[in-house]
Amino acid sequence: LATTRSMEFLKFRELPAGQNAIVAIAVYSGYNQEDSVIMNQSSIDRGLFRSLFYRSYTDQEKRVGMQIVEQFEKPMRSDTVRLKHGTYDKLDEDGIINPGVRVSGEDIIIGKTAPIAPDAEELGQRTKYHNKRDVSTPLRSTENGIVDQVLVTTNAEGLRFVKVRMRTTKVPQIGDKFASRHGQKGTIGITYRQEDMPFTREGIVPDLIINPHAIPSRMTIAHLIECQLSKVSALKGFEGDATPFTDVTVDSVSSLLREHGYQSRGFEVM
């Protein structure tokens, strides 16, 4: 809720980074020591810090010699050798997967075959019916997700080029790393359900609990002032100006907090 003048020039309104969370600076249960943080599992279930991860896979038809070219198609076991472990069932007949299909580790997402020479033995796997070998593109074995977009075009030589974009939803879990704009970084040490988290006299439950020992040694005093200013911003309904070297002081922010019935430095009984 606190912005700076430079954020306007960096187009932070058009391309914002991060989310506003309710943060408590407190020691609670011991699972936020040594730079770890405690996160509210109920907030995560409601979508807090959930993100989309995209990865693109590309392939193109290449020439083998002067005339023969590789071909996008669904490889068939009857005439193709060296088939991969993954499933080919999700491919269309043209060898390309459809958008919206859910895939998991080692599923084939781009089917492609290359012709093999008549005299090639292919490690003894070849029979007289085999005239192609499989050069398809599988999904990474550790990933799963949904096919987001498929692009088919041609290159300068008139050969087809395929790009498949995968979309994976990432949900925060223990071990994931988070950081504030002041470089106060930490990993999730434990997640508690909302009913197991501390709460204020007004019933507000934090999304995140960071350890107070992270503040003095790193001397991120502006972090505390920004927290204080953001609290005032939430109460008054405006954006706070956190630009350095301006007239906004700790005392002026403290007096606004006092006006709204809060402790001047932002302390709360939980």
Tens of pLDDT, residue by residue over 184-232, are 999 999 999 999 999 999 999 999 999 999 999 999 999 999 999 999 9
Residue among 35, 92, 148, 196 flagged as catalytic: 35
Residue 225 confidence (pLDDT): 95
Label residues 165-202 b or e (16+ Cβ within 10 Å = b).
bbeeeeebeeeeebebeeebebebbbbbeeeebbeeee
Sketch the domain layout of the chain as residue ranges: 2-50+172-259, 52-170
Class of domain 2-50+172-259: mainly beta
- The least confident of 6-20, 41-55, 65-79 is 65-79
Length of the chain: 270
Average pLDDT over residues 85-99: 94
Provide the sign of the torsion angle of the four alpha carbons 189, 193, 198, 200, taken in this order.
positive
Report the distance separating Cα 250 and Cα 7, nearest Å.
22
Average pLDDT over residues 76-104: 92
Active site residue 196: no
| DSSP string computed for 90-104 | TB-TTSBBPTT-EE-
Tens of pLDDT, residue by residue over 112-133, are 998 887 766 665 566 677 788 8
Report the distance separating Cα 221 and Cα 235, nearest Å.
22
What percentage of the chain has pLDDT greater than the value 70?
Answer: 96
Q: HSE-up of 155 (CA within 13 Å, CB side)?
A: 12
Tokens of 25: 């600076």
What is the architecture of the domain spanning 52-170? Answer: Beta Barrel (2.40)
